[in-house]
Amino acid sequence: MKYKHTEGLPQQGPGNTALAEPTSNVKHRWTASIVLVNVGINAAFFGPIQVLLGQQAADFSEADKEGILALVTGAGAAVSLVANPLFGTFSDRTTSRFGRRVPWVFIGALLGIIGLLGLAGAPSIAAMTLLWCVVQLGANGALAATTAAIPDQVPVRQRGTIGGLASMGTVVGILVGAAIAAGVAGNFSLGFIICAVALLVGMVPYLFLANDQVLDARDKPPFTWPNFVKGFWISPQRYPDFAWAWITRFLVNVGNHLVTLYLLFFLTDAVGFENPEFGVLILTGVYAVLTLITAVIGGRWTDRVGKRKPFVIASSAIIALAALILAFFPTWAGALVGAAVLGIGYGVYLAVDFALLTQVLPSATSRGKDMGVINVANSLPQVIAPIIAWPLVTIFGGYVTLYVVAAVIGLLGAVFVVKIKSVD
């Protein structure tokens, strides 16, 4: 196996620090807590994104529902661009007796819960937009801290497996969000409340099982505002593999968000499905089951063979194929096949690409910030996708154009991953 990025890093042992490179496999209960917190965070994200925000937008104005949804999701995603690296940086510097990451998981989840409860009674589009921004701020902050905990505590040889299981939590969270949205039968206010409960339930086990290591105050770098601001820029010239890994994830996620953003409206307007909310639940279930299976299999497989890039390339191509199926077969059967293909590709991608990313981080002292910057590649597509999707659907050819563009963008991610040199 070739794991270059563990060379020269301090190893854990007697008297280890929070900055040490982990060498001992993590325990099952810790892994379970990571899975559960991912379930809660993603239920809070995707229940609203997939259905609830769309229903609320249509409640404000049926004629302008696409534009309202684009405004709300785009504004929230813009907030997440700041939340991820900012919370990650704060957690890198935290010397709390509870550890570096746990306090920020708690604070972030609390903000997310407050925002979701507020959305349940949002009186206007402006309030809806502001409260969704609060949800994105909190949930992305919690996500940044939990994501950084994996390179903190998981040895490289186990990261594909743990990445696959964490991705399983992500997918289960997406499914839970869809189930909540379908179960409330159009009562989006109740849906937001249940999503808040899911976030709370997912967070609590992690707070008690995190085993978060305490950062010694002597290991905390001195703070200056210029260095703080400059730290968010990671030079592509100095760290080219990190840059290519970021670009790859960004492009694949743009393609994926283009596929999923208007799924509710796609079933309503293009497929003509009679119960589109239930249709979203069925498609999400198909997608979720296959993603769960392939994430675990792909994560274990990549750890066993010690290679990452071939898996990322293949899975990116499969995701693009799913978009093309939706583009040229806008039927219920086509949607089912597309969801299945998307699940197969995205499961492998989530597990393997995460493992690859943890191997190109620039420094052990800034894992939280660096993973936060990586998470921008997940969040920025939420800003870009509505800007691209809305004119494609309403002006430039509808859903066929939208899904062809999604496939092309996703395929570019497969092309650029070959530029990464330090990981096979």
- Please give the residue that has the higher pLDDT: either 340 or 381: 340
Token pair of 254 as six digits: 């743009």
* More confident site: 223 or 46: 46
- Burial class of residue 259 (count of CB atoms within 10 Å of its CB; 0-12, 13-18, 19+): buried
Residue 197 located in a structural domain: yes
pLDDT (0 to 100) of residue 15: 41
Reference 268, options 69, 120, 71, 123; nearest CA is: 69
In percent, the amount of the chain with pLDDT more than 70 equals: 96
Q: Residue 395's pLDDT is what?
A: 86
CATH of the domain at 380: 1.20.1250.20
Question: What's the pLDDT band for 17 if we cut at 50, 70, 90?
Answer: low
Instruction: Give the highest mean pLDDT range of 88-97, 117-126, 252-261.
Output: 117-126
The verdict on residue 346 lying in a domain is yes
374 pLDDT more than 70? yes
Q: Which residues contact 73 (CB under 8 A, 6 or more apart)?
A: 49, 53, 132, 261, 382, 386
Q: Which structural domain, as residue segments, surrounds residue 384?
A: 26-215+226-419
Mean pLDDT of 50-73: 88
pLDDT of residue 10: 43
Arithmetic mean of pLDDT over the chain: 86
Compute CA distances 329 → 332, 339, 346, 393, whole Å.
9, 12, 20, 16
Query: Residue 322 falls within a domain, yes or no?
Result: yes
Instruction: Indicate if the pLDDT at residue 8 is higher than 70.
Output: no
In a domain, 409, yes or no: yes
> What's the rounded Cα separation, in Å, for the pair 80 and 374?
12
What is the reported pLDDT for 104? 92
User: Using one digit for the tens of pLDDT, what is the confidence trace for 300-336?
Assistant: 888 888 888 889 899 999 999 999 999 999 999 999 9
pLDDT of residue 376: 81
Q: Residue 364 carries which DSSP code?
A: G
70 or 199, which is more confident? 199
The total number of structural domains that make up the chain: 1
Dihedral sign of CA atoms 423, 323, 53, 292 in order: negative
pLDDT 10s digits, 113-130: 999 999 999 999 999 999
Confidence of residue 267 (pLDDT cuts 50, 70, 90): very high
Among 54-63, 230-239, 305-314, the minimum mean pLDDT is found in 230-239
The highest-confidence range among 262-266, 290-294, 365-369, 400-404, by mean pLDDT, is: 400-404
C-alpha closest to that of 246 among 42, 79, 45, 413: 413
Q: Looking at mean pLDDT, say which of 68-72, 199-203, 415-419 comes out highest.
A: 199-203
In a domain? residue 19: no
Range list of H helices, 159-268 = 159-183, 188-209, 225-230, 240-260, 263-265
The string of pLDDT tens digits covering residues 153-204 is 888 888 888 888 888 888 788 888 888 988 887 899 999 999 999 999 999 9
**Residue 30 contacts residue 211 (beta carbons within 8 Å):** yes
Residue bearing the bigger pLDDT, 354 or 121: 121
| Cα–Cα distance, 92 to 88 (Å, whole number) | 6
Give the helix/strand (H/E) hosting 409: helix 399-416
Q: What is the pLDDT of residue 236?
A: 86
Task: Spell out the long-range contacts of 326-330 with Cβ–Cβ below 8 A and sequence spacing 24 or more.
Answer: 326/259, 326/266, 326/399, 326/403, 327/399, 327/400, 327/402, 327/403, 327/404, 327/407, 328/400, 330/266, 330/270, 330/271, 330/399, 330/400
Q: Which two tokens stand for residue 214?
A: 């305490």
Is 149 part of any domain? yes
Q: Choose the weakest-confidence range: 96-105, 132-141, 323-332, 354-363.
A: 354-363
**Integer Cα distance of 44 and 38 in angstroms:** 10
Task: Output phi, psi for 9, to 5 deg.
Answer: -95, 150
Residues 43 and 195 sit within 8 Å (Cβ to Cβ): yes
Would 181 be classed as within a structural domain?
yes
pLDDT band of residue 16 (cuts 50, 70, 90) is very low
Contact 93, 366 (CB under 8 A): no
Residues 6+ apart with CB under 8 A from 233: none
- Is residue 266 included in any domain, yes or no? yes
Q: Over 90: is that where the pLDDT of 99 sits? A: no
Beta-carbon count within 10 A of 206 CB:
27
What mean pLDDT is predicted for residues 412-418?
86
